[in-house]
Chains A and B, each alone.
Chain A
Amino acid sequence: MTDIRSDASTASGNYPAAPEQLLARAQAIEALLKERGALGDDTVARIVAAYESDIGPLHGARVVARAWVDPAFRQRLLTDATAACGELGIGGLMGEHLVALADEDDAHHVIVCTLCSCYPWAVLGIPPGWYKSPEYRARVVAEPRAVLAEFGLTLPASTEVRVMDTSADVRYFVLPRRPADTEDLDEAALAALVTRDCLIGVALPKSPR
């Protein structure tokens, strides 16, 4: 393996920079790419719109609610989450290989990417700012109970906390347990209980009562 890319000189002296300088730099790069025929005026806006309006945590909530009401679907989800999500039309970029981590009576899961910010975009959209912060990434592996408590989630000592560090190509999300006292809720009402934070594992779905 040759070390052909060890030089960071293109960045040296230019980072960190003032916010207005960074904005000008980003605008300069986009403008140069447009002038060379590589991008259109609406290319970036189209990508932003896809993740602002089409793809987000409602996808993951639909998957969880279906698993709660349909035991056969739940089994397929745990066997091959990519295929099971595909049944609901959910998949794509950063969702090519999905695994659902099922919480149990005595085990709770929480996901992180300590090395960068890998996240199941196809199921959850774009990650929240705190998920990408150095503080969350460093702390949740080393002291998960303290971090969860700061999110308002205190788990009994008898519950094992399993932190999933997303370090390769599989993308993970949490399948929480169905809250008690929700027997009379239909699938859509159940999906409304499942927030983004529940799918990351820093919160638990709550019964509306």
Chain B
Amino acid sequence: MANGFLRNIDENRYAKERLAPEALIRCGYWELWLAALEMNLVENGVLELAAIRERERRADPGATAPAVAPDGLHDAIGGLIAHGVDMASQLSEPHRFGAGERVRTRVSNNRRHTRLPSYAMGREAVVVSRLPAFPLPDAVAHDPGGQREWTYRIRFEAEELWGQDKGGSDAVMLDVFESYLIATTPAVAGSVEEAP
């Protein structure tokens, strides 16, 4: 990402998710990474697919004249490894939910990118912690300038996720974006009900 060819991690995750189901199941871990990287480089206009296909059929596809890194690239990569990229921010609107509050997760099957796992959709949980705002993966997978949302750490009892037979004393914690959550407390009389 230091050279600007790749825009964010969610476009890469979304590329993997767009692979045909049989490819997603049959490909190895790094094979999925290669497929997604190739999709991102082609879609972002960095390389042409035909050029990659032509090159990979050569006897020695990796052979090149000696290549020197562009000015500043290695410093930028070193800085990225040492300092990371802080994507956190604060929003002008406060967090909608507070620690200890009961919430329900949304259910969505729109086939776009999201970071709410399907096992955790439509389940009740308790907010453990308020966390900073981050770019919403559902938005930035398509649009690098997409909106930000507050995040939360929430806790599900194992029984809520897996039924009565599973670990009554155990729990799963999950980090979620604010729009993944719905309040479970009844609306105050006279207030407008939020559409689900």
Q: A residues within 8 Å of B by Cβ?
A: 1-8, 10-12, 14-17, 21-22, 24-43, 46-47, 50, 55, 91-97, 114-117, 122, 129, 132-133, 141-145, 157-170
Please tell me if B100 contacts chain A, counting CB pairs below 8 Å.
Answer: no
The listed residue (A5, A15, A31) touching B35 by CB distance below 8 A is: A15
The listed residue (B18, B61, B151, B173) touching A27 by CB distance below 8 A is: B61
CA distance A115 to B117 in the complex (A): 7
The listed residue (B34, B37, B55, B87) touching A169 by CB distance below 8 A is: B87
A contact residues around B85 at 8 Å (CB): 93, 96
Contact A96 B87 (CB under 8 A): yes
- When A and B form their complex, what is the total count of cross-chain residue pairs whose Cβ atoms lie within 8 Å? 231
A contact residues around B127 at 8 Å (CB): none
CA distance A30 to B111 in the complex (A): 31
User: Do most interface residues of chain B lie in helix, strand or loop, or is the interface mixed?
Assistant: mixed
A contact residues around B61 at 8 Å (CB): 24-25, 27-28, 31
A contact residues around B47 at 8 Å (CB): 29, 32-33, 36
| Given known contacts A29-B38, A35-B67, A11 and B19 CB-to-CB distance under 8 angstroms | yes
Contact B73 A28 (CB under 8 A): no
Contact A161 B170 (CB under 8 A): yes
Within 8 A of A (CB), among B1-20: 3, 5, 11, 13-16, 18-20
The minimal Cβ–Cβ distance linking B51 to chain A, given in whole angstroms, is 6
Please tell me if B56 contacts chain A, counting CB pairs below 8 Å.
Answer: yes
CA distance A149 to B47 in the complex (A): 47
The minimal Cβ–Cβ distance linking A200 to chain B, given in whole angstroms, is 15
